[in-house]
Chain A
Amino acid sequence: MPKLEEKPKVLLEEFRVKNAPDDYGMADEKWSFKKFSKNFRIVIVRMDSSEMEFDLIGIQPAFSNAFRRLMLSEVPSMAIEKVMIKNNTSIIQDEVLAHRLGLIPLKADPRLFEYRPEDATEGTEFDTLEFSLKIKCTMNKSQPKDSFRTEDLYENHSVYSSAIKWQPIGNQASVHKEADIGPVHSDILISKMRPGHELDLHLVAVKGIGKDHAKFSPVATASYRLLPEITLTREVKGNEATLLQSCFSPGVIGLDTDGKAYVRNARYDSCSRNVYRYDAIKDAVILSRIRDHFIFNVESVGAMTPNIIFVEAVKILRDKCKSLLDELNSF
């Protein structure tokens, strides 16, 4: 078997994941930029404003993992960091309220802001967003008779993230549009209240990174998986073929007109390895995954589109490399 054409693989055996016998591991390969740029490809499979699926092909796991890690923990985003509580008569505790508010995703492009200096006591218009949340629960005066539904009885009995109002500071009102700042979702429940309960809060959002606190992470999750590959070693027909088909995710195994099974598209197989449960067809397949084909899935929290998040992660890696090189060169 010509080795060059062969893609690096890991075999999914019944009880363990095993590297292909003729694979010496990519770590041993001598890295050449020329070879890399020839082989490397990015294919965007699916993208919308909140989710993106794309393939990184021909790259070392160290790199793709670095991007994943950076997206999770080092790409910055804005989140509420400080809550000044002027009044909180609701049943929710101050700390818990502040924690909940912190986790609300904000749509504010973090690239337009700076990190707040560590010794700063006051925020400036360049590093801080300020919001206010002022709401009071009252009896609904115009309530219909005989109604016992909370929606009818009280006003403002549920505080949603839509109640958070942006308070521009300095020149912010002219720099940012009203629609660009604020919670991503307007229907996040913050607290439930009853008449007499009142919230009067001043919220301060700053730029931060996910390493510091998960609320600063710009992604709900960013992860990848390796491209599955299914090879049939023998002809599978009839009942066995349908059984085989049922062992994989829908659409992975196809049946041709003769009732013979063939691999239609292995990409979306969930790799459940349930074939190994059936001794009859166990030997008919080799399950493996391509080691340098990463299917990324990035789910943005809402502030930035996933493609930007990935580009930001790449930039951070670049900057890190630069600073390392600078350090080395200045040595």
Chain B
Amino acid sequence: MGEINKHPEWDTAKGLREPIKTLEDKWKLVPSFLQIKGLVKQHIDSFNYFINVEIKKIVQANEKVFCDSDPLFYIKYLNAYVGTPDLEEGFNVTKPTTPHECRLRDMTYSAPITVDIEYIRGNQRVIKNKQLIGRMPLMLRSSNCVLTNKSDFELSQLNECPHDPGGYFIIRGQEKVILIQEQLSRNRMIVDEFKGAIQCQVTSSTHEKKTRTNVIVKNGKYVLRHNALSDDIPIAIAFKAMGICSDQEIMQLVGTDDAIVKKMAPCIMDCHNLKIFTQNQALSHIGSKLKVKRFQTPNAKFRTPVDEARDLLATTILAHVTVENYNFYVKAIYLAIMVKRVIEAENSKAAIDDPDYYGNKRLELAGSLLALMFEDLFKRFNWELKSIADKIIPKVKAAPFDVVKHMRPDLIANGLFTAISSGNWTIKRFKMERHGVTQVLSRLSYISALGMMTRVNSQFEKTRKVSGPRSLQPSQWGMLCPSDTPEGEACGLVKNLALMTHITTECSEEPISRLACNAGVEDVKLLGGEEINHPAVYMVFLNGNILGVTRQYKKLIKIFRMFRRRGLISAFVSIYPNHNQRTVYICSDGGRLCRPYIIVEKGYPLVQQSHINELNRGIRKFQDFLSDGLIEYLDVNEENDSHIATIEAEIDPYVTTHLEVEPFTILGVCAGLVPYPHHNQSPRNTYQCAMGKQAMGTIGYNQKNRIDTLMYNLVYPQCPMVKTRTIELTNFDKLPAGQNATVAVMSYSGYDIEDALILNRASIDRGYGRCLVYKSAKTIMKRYSNQTSDRILGPSRDANTGKVIKAHEVLDTDGIAAPGEMVENRQVLINKQMPPATLNPISQGQPQQIDYKDVPVTYKGPVESYIEKVMVSSNSEDAFLIKILLRQTRVPEIGDKFSSRHGQKGVTGLIVQQEDMPFNDRGICPDMIMNPHGFPSRMTVGKTIELLAGKAGLMEGKFHYGTAFGGSKVRDVCGELEKHGYNYHGKDIFYSGLTGEPLEAYIYSGPVYYQKLKHMVQDKMHARARGPRAVLTRQPTEGRSRDGGLRLGEMERDCLIGYGASMLLMERLMLASDAFSADICGACGRLASRAWCHACRSSAAVSAVEMPYACKLLFQELAAMNIVPKLTLKKYC
């Protein structure tokens, strides 16, 4: 808990203070925030940091390449740049490109990586600028992307949607997102209980190394455990190896309390038992426990175990604590703190850290992941240059060795491209192997794409049955959406960012440590254990490293916060104390989650109504609030050290430090679509988060220019009648996915059980739920090494009639289907032919007859499609690329799935003529009838309020708001209804369309926003009588796509066995599947072939037996494994 500021001037009782006025339109800070730190800003920021800063650091860290064969030779990288996106057109000619061109032409949206180098050619030192070393896939809307800082008009010229968030890559025409990866934070001590023993774990990570060091309790003694050591090292020996040789000094470092002394005594004893008193003795003890290295470099000089141990202690164990000149003092203090933590945790369980606490988590973004990958590839690139130099320099050559000629940009380019397109992040240096880091951007709807950009992936295994990491942690408040997580195995492991979350990028440590020193932090190197452990002294950590100690931690924190609010240090530096550990942590590392809060001082929020008015007038931006010190970012750790009021009325002048900007921002993008989510049962909001991603609608203003493999669009999408602030902030109202349907909540016909919906035929006729389904077909005209290539032929004609054959009817004269044509099942879209694979190179001069093989691209599907457009282009290999976009217009039919925004999905059960639908006094027929049984168990009160607010909105001619924790009040909404002559409760008199008499019940009716989901019967319907069979087993194939059979599975089989329907079983399992008449030799019982038993050399006893082909196959396979199955034949009747 933070500092409680007592203000003596307030003598009056708390209740007597005048109430703080609520700030009007405070929510307008949110759009202002999103303008500068948009929803995908974290991705873009992180990528920008990588291509502008980090890449230079990486190149600088690996700046020199030497070779073994020539001591004079070197390459030195002076600088590195990432250029602007372009395409290579061969012969070093490049052409600037746009993301949309890359999408259409299956290219990679990438920019060249160039370096300035200095190297030795012959005997000369040469400087070459702008040398290409690879290509970097560019994130859309990053600093080097063509889309940044473009107006909407310019974006439309580039065929790009202005609402597209960017933040993804285009690799070989595919849009790929690098998901945000959640990790335990590095370089931090984590005390946890592992198999009953308490341990303190530190995962150190530097540019070179990534190691894990543990201090654990073993038989009541503390030991140091590390991967590089074959055995645990008693802690006292470790201290001695670090040069803390006297037992007193060790004890002073760890602490001289009686409790600690008692616990440490056995450890100190250990040393004496092992007769280790000096640093050298300790080092040689550790040296004897080293793991034997398998690969010894031959020219590395032999080193003693003591040297090795010393090196190991300096560089590998607790690698992030730097050791200069083998002065281990700081590292010893660090180790002592680890021991202390373990001892504290032993004494009280409260000192054990919660591994699920979000302050201990860091989020890894595209930039840092790419940086890892790039560094690995760059090292490999340099290693390759070195080995080439090693090989070539000794050879005497006419021209001097020019290393530039051996720089292949493909290595880095392809390495990055394949990593992003496959999602496999393999970095040998860190023994890192991760899969599924990237995903294809889902373009089902705008929200699904946006939702994907805010997704956070966890490293935990999905199959493990753990509840800890899956459950909602209180520290995730405001940072991660509490609703948006998938159901099932990834539940709670895949999370989504909340609306106002920002992920920090790294900022430089140096000014911070300087400021800390000026603020009174003393260097620990100059202090002894007794001073460090003094109860009044707080230790200061900067990013997990010991910075020093201070006696005035309050002052330190105050100074830091003041500097941050003044903008003198980065806004994302956080500082917070831990009173139990008597430490102050300062963080400036990347990957921390943070969000803005209004600062409250002396009981009043610093943001005044005048500021908001300025914001409304557009003369104040979010950045101004930050630089004026009215708002600041708090990360998870600092948030937990603050007292935050949700609304103005909750401000307590004695404790409150901050005020929430807007409560609805604790939800994410997907959950933000739900109106009145605070009235719903929480899982319903979670269901809607999953379903909103399947809703059809609009995917972007450029949707008509895209050629996606699958795209669903609504013909007449509508903005919801009941909006939320989030809907406006995410532009969902401009790219909607659903329609407002007038819903009557009543029972009708019995075709509405189990959430089924009844639709009005006339509504469908007038365009409700109509959708467009686009699919694309694609082919590449390959060129082969033997000078042949694929070709396309015009339509074939029937020899007799001279008419174009049915299969080629839609083809144009160029052999590609013509736009506007209707294609039916099995018709040819592209009449492509391929030369035979094995063909000798055609000798020049004499044309050779080549037997081309037909490989047409055909249309498959039970329902015909129309050709929307055809694109002929070339891909990156300069081969022809033909893409055909096919279109279907679909009208809702029975079985199509719809859902409201409250996790209430249902399929169409019946489509009813308009005259059969009930109607009310005003002649309104509902578009949809929903069964009231959907409400009691689901408790989706939000939906009933949405209906009311929607109905009132229709009458008033305005949109109502259903924003979370706010929105239009039911009382007001009902008042509006009453004003317009409607029933206060929203229930109207309806007449039966069938009998014409009034219905006995009043019907709750009004508009509800309904989404059409992508699951449609047309894509699922499947039946077969006869059809294809698998080659090996001769059983029917599986799956709809292969026109497969419908399986009579084990459970169904059990039912039939139980019922005793043996003949039906026989028919289903054998006759209708893979019946086979096998010849069996009655004499030997083995399979005979063609009525002749090879073993018996006779056909006398051979008889035909009906059996499943799979059975015969099994016998043969067993025989192949030296097992002879034999059948005994008997006369059956």
Contacts and interface: CB of A to CB of B under 8 A. Distances in A.
Interface string B812-838: 000000001000000000000000000
Nearest to B868: A93
Contact of B915 (A17, A73, A94, A215): A73
A85 interface: yes
Contacts of A222: 923
B1107 to A, nearest CB: 53
A272 interface: yes
Contact of B921 (A68, A72, A214, A271): A271
A215 B765 contact: yes
B767 interface: yes
Q: How large is the interface on A (under 10, 10 to 19, 20 to 34, 35 or more residues)?
A: 35 or more
Contacts of A192: none
B86 to A, nearest CB: 29
- Report which residue of A66, A68, A271 has the largest number of chain B beta carbons within 10 angstroms of its beta carbon: A271
A96 B889 contact: yes
14 contacts: A61-B997, A62-B995, A64-B996, A93-B887, A93-B889, A94-B866, A99-B715, A214-B762, A214-B914, A217-B914, A226-B998, A249-B981, A272-B981, A297-B923
B989 A271 contact: yes
Contact of A99 (B767, B922, B925): B767
Given A61-B997, A271-B989, A223 B919 contact: yes
Contacts of A99: 715, 767, 770, 889
B704 interface: yes
Nearest to A296: B923
Interface string B984-1011: 1000010101111111111000000000
Given A17-B1002, A93-B887, A222-B923, A272 B982 contact: yes
Nearest to B766: A214
Interface of B is mostly: loop
A289 B998 contact: yes
Contacts of A94: 820, 866
Nearest to B761: A214
Interface residues of B, number: 40
B772 interface: yes
A272 B998 contact: no
Shortest beta-carbon contacts, A-B, top 5: A65-B996, A223-B923, A214-B765, A270-B981, A214-B762
Contact of A17 (B704, B762, B767, B998): B998
B256 interface: no
Contacts of B914: 72-73, 210, 214, 217
Contacts of B915: 68-69, 72-73, 210
Contacts of A15: 1002
Given A62-B995, A69-B993, A213 B1002 contact: no
A82 interface: no
A217 B868 CA distance: 32
Contacts, number: 104
A225 interface: yes
A244 interface: no
A106 to B, nearest CB: 16
B418 interface: no
Contacts of B1002: 15-17, 273
A18 interface: yes
Nearest to A71: B915
A95 interface: yes
Nearest to A215: B765
Interface of B: 704, 715, 761-762, 765-767, 770, 772, 820, 866, 868, 887, 889, 913-915, 919, 921-925, 978, 981-984, 989, 991, 993-1002
A46 interface: no
A213 B393 CA distance: 84
Nearest to A291: B997
A12 interface: yes
Given A73-B913, A214-B761, A16 B921 contact: no
A211 B923 contact: no
A65 B984 CA distance: 28
Given A73-B915, A94-B866, A95-B866, A16 B997 contact: no
Contacts of A273: 983, 1002
A224 B921 CA distance: 7
B889 A274 contact: no
A66 B995 CA distance: 9
B996 A221 contact: no
Interface of A: 10, 12, 15-18, 61-62, 64-66, 68-69, 72-73, 85, 88, 91, 93-96, 99, 103, 210-211, 213-215, 217, 221-226, 249, 270-274, 277, 289, 291, 297, 299
Contacts of A210: 762, 914-915
Contacts of B978: 272, 274
Given A65-B996, A223-B919, A272-B981, 13 more contacts: A17-B1000, A65-B993, A72-B915, A91-B704, A96-B772, A215-B765, A222-B923, A223-B991, A226-B998, A272-B984, A274-B978, A277-B984, A291-B997
A154 to B, nearest CB: 16
A66 B767 CA distance: 26
B765 A17 contact: no
A95 B996 CA distance: 36
A95 B868 CA distance: 11
B921 A270 contact: yes
Contact of A62 (B761, B982, B996): B996
Nearest to A277: B984
Contacts of A299: 923
B773 to A, nearest CB: 11
B919 to A, nearest CB: 5
Contacts of A95: 866, 887, 889
Nearest to B705: A91
Nearest to B978: A274
B996 A18 contact: no
- Report which residue of B715, B991, B996 has the largest number of chain A beta carbons within 10 angstroms of its beta carbon: B996
Contacts of B989: 12, 17, 271
A91 B999 CA distance: 46
Contacts of B770: 96, 99
A123 B612 CA distance: 68
Given A94-B820, A96-B715, A225-B921, A217 B762 contact: yes
Contacts of A221: 923-925
Nearest to A294: B996
B983 to A, nearest CB: 5
Contact of B913 (A61, A211, A223): A211
A73 B765 CA distance: 13
Nearest to A98: B889
A162 to B, nearest CB: 22
Contacts of B981: 249, 270, 272
Nearest to B774: A93
Contact of B1001 (A17, A65, A249): A17
A30 B994 CA distance: 22
A252 to B, nearest CB: 10
Given A73-B915, A93-B772, A222-B923, A274 B1001 contact: no
Contacts of B994: 65
Contact of B766 (A61, A103, A277, A297): A103
A18 to B, nearest CB: 7
Contacts of A61: 995-997
A18 B914 CA distance: 26
A289 B889 CA distance: 46
Contacts of A226: 998
Contacts of A91: 704
B996 A68 contact: yes
Contacts of B922: 223
A229 to B, nearest CB: 13
Nearest to B772: A93
Nearest to B767: A99
A271 B995 CA distance: 21
A215 B914 CA distance: 12
B766 A18 contact: no
Contact of B983 (A62, A88, A217, A274): A274
B984 A274 contact: yes
